[in-house]
Structure 1
Amino acid sequence: MLILGRREGDSILIDGGIRIVVVSCDRGGVRIGIEAPSDVKILRGEIAQQVEQENQRAASASDAADWLAALGAPSAAAPVPSAVSPASGTEH
């Protein structure tokens, strides 16, 4: 990790056309501005972590559904058989 001291108005340039500017500083924190090409995805760290956790949860659920399907058990996404008689069209 590179650690730099910067002051208000100072910037950092990163390969690929990314520029980070210190907009303001106070005791509560630092406000930064980021200029980057439109194809560069920029996420706050906590949002990226939430996305990763949700992806892991979804993958686990998918793995569980695959495992149940391999055992021949119906998955939660499988349609529930209807209680309608095909001959009469009425519910039983």
Structure 2
Amino acid sequence: MLVLTRKVGERILIGDDIVLTILDSRGDGIRVGIDAPRGIKVQREEVVRAVTEANAEAASAPDDAEARLRDLLGGAQPPADPAPEQ
């Protein structure tokens, strides 16, 4: 890991087309501006982790989740597929 010290207004270049600019320094945090091509994903790690955990939790729903939901909704059945037109 490369560790750098930067001041407000200074930049960090990553490759030929990514630029990090230090925008502001506030107490225990900083604001960083990121210029990157549209094809490059720029995501906060904690958001990616939260989404991954939520997806894992949803995927591990009990096998009877559909039946339990149907019971909660008063026994409603899913709509039937319409007959194909001829």
| Structure 2: stretches of 5+ with no match in the other structure | 78-86
Change over 3 Å in CA distance of 1:47–1:81 after alignment to 2:
closer
Change (3 A) 1:81 1:2: same
Gaps of 5+ in 1: 66-73, 83-92
RMSD: 2.6
Identity value in percent:
35
Shift of 1:26: 2.8
Name 1:42's counterpart in structure 2.
42
Residue 45 of structure 1, CA deviation: 2.1
Counterpart Cα distance in 2 of 1:34 and 1:8? 14
Confirm or deny that 1:58 pairs with 2:74: no
Q: Which residue of 1 aligns with 2:19?
A: 19
What stretches of structure 1 move > 2 A for 4+ residues in a row? Answer: 58-61, 79-82
TM-score by length of 2: 0.64
SS in 2 for 1:32: strand
- Higher Cα Rg: structure 1 or 2? 1
Q: 1:60 and 1:46 mapped to 2: Cα distance?
A: 21
TM-score normalised by length of structure 1? 0.60
C-alpha deviation, 1:24, in angstroms = 1.3
Q: Which amino acid aligns with 1:24?
A: D
TM-superposed CA distance for 1:32, in Å, is 0.7
